[in-house]
Chains A and B, each alone.
Chain A
Amino acid sequence: MKIYDKPVIVIGVLIFLAIFAFPLWTALGTTPPQPKVELPKDMKECVAPTEYMKSSHMQLLNEWRDSVVRDGNRVWVSHTGKQYNMSLTNECLRCHNEKSKFCDQCHNYVGVVPFCWDCHTYPKEAK
């Protein structure tokens, strides 16, 4: 197969690829920014194992919501046998008391906007 003006086209394609891949080669060797989650200092354990909370806290919150609102059951017995009050504002935020240093870190990082805060309140933070 014959390509007319082959050198010009090849160089053009290479230049295009170089520009197109600009975000990739400029970021080579650098580490992307990581979310900085600040954990409560005086507490050792959460309502469920850390790995589970990292991956599935949203499912857990949905289960809590259904249990509290629809079944009227408000006490959570955790994997270690400790009892908790199933409440986002009154229990989760009691330890994780700065939303911007905990919740928002990952949510902003992955670009999700949970609508919890449309209704549920969180402690006021210094701006």
Chain B
Amino acid sequence: MRKIFIILLLSVAFFKPQDLQAQCNASLVTVCSSKLSADATYLKELRARLQPQESGQQLPVARFSLLLNSGNHYRFSICNAQEFPAKAILQLYDQDKLVGTTYFAKTKQHYPAFDFICPKTGVYKVLISFEDGKEGCAVGILSLIKK
């Protein structure tokens, strides 16, 4: 009985709200970054935690603005948190023009990353969403590829 009390006490003492999302937190960034190839230099993380799409509402999307430099070879990688089955889709836009994606709608194929050799310096938009508007958690990693 005393053991149960001690376990209970320790659980309460060390409980932190963020533990509820153990997979969907900073460790996801670490895991995703560790998957970068040797020729990639980490630049930025893009975290997305989205609720499911409600009927009649727009598809939930996490939006980021990034400044990319011309001539640089970038890689956009995406990693899902294990506890959410819906796969994340990362899309790169130059203004309204889609210039890169981790998902091909035609073949319904998901890719863990795509490379982008930036043709012009400027502000680009990154959108992260989850297939069929499901609830999800993912992290996108922007890295620079050595030539």
Report whether chain A binds chain B. no
B interface residues with partner A (beta carbon < 8 Å): none
